[in-house]
Homo-oligomer: A and B are copies of this chain.
Amino acid sequence: MTDRSRNVPTLERLVGYNLKRAYMVVQGDYRAALGDGALAPRVFSALTLVVEFPQISQSDLARRLGIERSGLVAIVGELEERGLLERADVPGDKRVQALVATPEGTRACNDAMARVQAHEDRLLGMLTEAERATLIALLAKIRQAEDVQAG
């Protein structure tokens, strides 16, 4: 152990604590940068996946987002109200609704993505491209632990 690391308070050496604090910073800046009328992070994420996977069901979308189906109802409802996607019937299974982005939805998605990228580029300007890639890779590794948790 070096002199430097020995003096770092224990709380600051926990991944969970740093993760939460960094998440709050990025999330706060997202909202400040995109403004009040913009898509909230989770709504933006959902729209992105609908654009990427046309005809996706709500259950599949919830699985991909890592949230419960019930939580998705309000998100999809907001996107439908904004005219950014449509719930389409699926022939052969009346239970399922295929989510399809409207042309305006695809435009809004691209537009939002550009603004999110700009916000991250500005906020994370202190990180090199390599550092940013490393960070994303490490976070992705943690995400993969989702299936092997305690309890």
Name A residues whose Cβ lies closer than 8 Å to a Cβ of B: 9-33, 41, 45, 48-49, 52, 66, 113, 116-117, 119-120, 122-124, 126-127, 131-132, 134-136, 138-146, 149-151
Which chain B residues lie closer than 8 Å to A126 at the CB level?
Answer: 141, 144-145
A113 with B10: CB separation less than 8 A: yes
Which label, helix, strand, loop or mixed, suits the secondary structure of the A interface?
helix
Beyond the given A22-B139, A29-B151, A127-B142, could you list 13 further A-B residue pairs with CB under 8 A, ordered by the A residue number? A9-B48, A16-B120, A18-B143, A19-B23, A19-B26, A22-B140, A22-B142, A29-B145, A32-B149, A123-B149, A126-B144, A134-B134, A135-B139
Measured CB to CB, the closest approach of chain B to A14, in angstroms, equals 6
Measured CB to CB, the closest approach of chain B to A102, in angstroms, equals 19
